[in-house]
Amino acid sequence: MQWIKLKKKVCGHGLMPNNLSKISSYINLKSINVSVKYLSISALFTGIGLGYFFTLMVMILKHNGYSESMIGLIGASFSFGLMSAGLIVTKILKQIGLYQTMLLSISVQTLLVILMFVFFNPIVISISHFIMGLLGGMNWMTMDTWVNVVSTNKNRGKAIAFYNLSITLGFSIGPLLISLFGTYGSVPIFLAIFLMIIRTPVIISIKKYVESVKLPTKDSKLNFSLLKFAPFIFLAIFVSGIGDSSFGVLFPAYMINLEFSDRYIGILLFVALFFGILSQPFVGALTDTINKRVFIFILLSFHFAWPLILHNFYQINLILFFAVIIWGIAGTSLYTVALAYLGERYNFKEIIAATSVFIIVYEAGEFFGPLISGFMMDIFGNIGFIYSVIVPTVMAFAIGSIRTFYLRKM
């Protein structure tokens, strides 16, 4: 009873039946800016290409005898590139513009994928992952800012959820293709290259919508003082980055150690992300309806639950799927809710700087996630993967609770 009263106090209202009856109106996509819808098409194909490539690469590395630490280091290289993108994105945009930046990014990424399969060794793969992350990060920061800028407080959660849904759908299709084509032979490699190439004509086809978006300008220096204004948002997204990257990079290795097949792992990843997709319209609706801070706490509790369920009940198929579905919902939704909360807390002039810092913090989590998980799995075995997700989640929940229920009363 006390939690119910507290939730009503923080939210301002409970989620009563009359609010639930309005969900359908929130799911209506007509209020979303048309440019966001076309942006989401590009995001879909990006998700398919990268989702397939990253899953395939992790499994090939594992089958070729690479340790979890090495796999984690390679995965972290991509995230380090994403983090570093914040240092150059403004200069690149000023020099060549948004459309040319996006086109350059996907073209070079395609060449790097080919390079990695031709020269398959850890140094080439790590450097290529870093450059792919650097280029992808420039696109990501501008695309997230794009969605926030063309949206309002009334539809921001819905717009971000729709955009996030599109890229997550792509990332779910990638592992599904693994379950269909496997990881052995030349077909998976040629498919990975094809899925990267096809992104180029997609971005060319939406050129006019890309060029129609006018992003606010900002100083080229990143303003990390923005962290002080909404620290819980950045703490939550840092933990989200740890959980997302640890799952994406080392969950396949974790399951291979338990002697699950590549195809079965591909199905698990697809189901996890697919349910994350199904949740997005409702998450977007709830984000625009209830208190976003409370929503973040709920999603953090999901990140605490799924590793425990996974490790203790992986032998039971139904519960195994339930565990990865919880991750799919939490992993997909926490980013959506936190980004919408960010757009609410900062004004128009601050939003591009805040979004850049937001993504860098998230990518810092994604950078440390595989490193920590790989290192702990080498030391503790498979249980190290579970520790690497639960410990930072508990810390974030505790610090957020102290700030919410204690410091604000002082």
Residue 360, SS3 per DSSP:
helix
Mapping DSSP to helix (H, G, I), strand (E, B) and coil, where does residue 88 land? coil
Show Cβ contacts of residue 283 under 8 Å, excluding neighbours closer than 6 positions.
Answer: 157, 161, 329, 332, 333, 336, 337
Q: Kindly report the backbone phi and psi dihedral angles of residue 261, in degrees, each rounded to the nearest multiple of 5, phi listed first.
A: -80, 160
Around 76, how many Cα atoms within 13 Å sit in the side-chain half-sphere?
Answer: 18
Per-residue model confidence as pLDDT tens for the chain (410 residues)? 333 333 333 344 444 445 455 555 555 556 676 777 777 888 889 899 999 999 999 999 999 989 999 999 999 999 898 888 877 777 787 787 778 888 888 899 999 999 999 999 999 999 999 999 998 888 777 776 777 666 766 666 677 777 777 888 888 898 899 989 988 889 999 999 999 999 888 888 877 777 666 665 555 556 666 666 678 888 888 999 998 888 988 999 999 999 899 999 999 999 998 898 888 778 877 877 888 888 999 999 999 999 999 999 999 999 999 999 999 999 888 888 888 888 777 666 667 777 778 878 888 898 899 999 999 999 999 999 999 999 999 998 888 888 777 655 54
Q: Rounded to whole angstroms, how far apart are CA atoms 42 and 20?
A: 32
CA proximity to 130, closest of 82, 70, 87, 91: 82
Tokens for 18, please give them.
């009359």
Which of 398, 159, 156 has the alpha carbon at shortest distance from 297?
398
Other CB atoms within a 10 A radius of the CB of residue 19 amount to 15
* pLDDT of res. 258: 92
Residue 346 domain-assigned?
yes
Q: pLDDT value at position 114?
A: 95
CA angle 136, 48, 89 (to 5 degrees): 10
Determine, yes or no, domain membership for 21: no
Is residue 28 a part of any domain in this protein? no
Q: In angstroms, what CA-CA distances link 247 with 75, 196, 261, 349?
A: 11, 22, 17, 35
Amino acid at the residue 79 = S
How far, in Å, CA of 341 to CA of 234, rounded? Answer: 11
CB 98 within 8 A of CB 214: no
Given this model, what pLDDT does residue 281 score? 76
- Does residue 345 form part of some domain? yes
Please count the CA atoms within 13 angstroms of the CA of 342 that sit on its side-chain side.
33
Q: Determine the 3-state secondary structure of 150 from DSSP.
A: coil
Residue 326 in domain: yes
Total number of domains in the chain: 1
- Would you give the DSSP letter of residue 260? -
316: helix, coil or strand? coil
Q: What is the dihedral of CA 294, 295, 301, 303, to 10 degrees?
A: -140
Could you tell me the residue range of the domain that residue 116 belongs to?
33-205+222-409
Contact between 292 and 337 (Cβ < 8 Å): yes
Residue type, 305: A
Q: Return the CATH number at 70.
A: 1.20.1250.20
308, 304, 310: which is closest to 324 by C-alpha? 310
258 in a domain, yes or no?
yes
Rounded CA-CA distance 109/124 in Å is 14
Q: What's the whole-model pTM score?
A: 0.76
Q: Is residue 2 part of a domain?
A: no
Q: Is residue 113 part of a domain?
A: yes
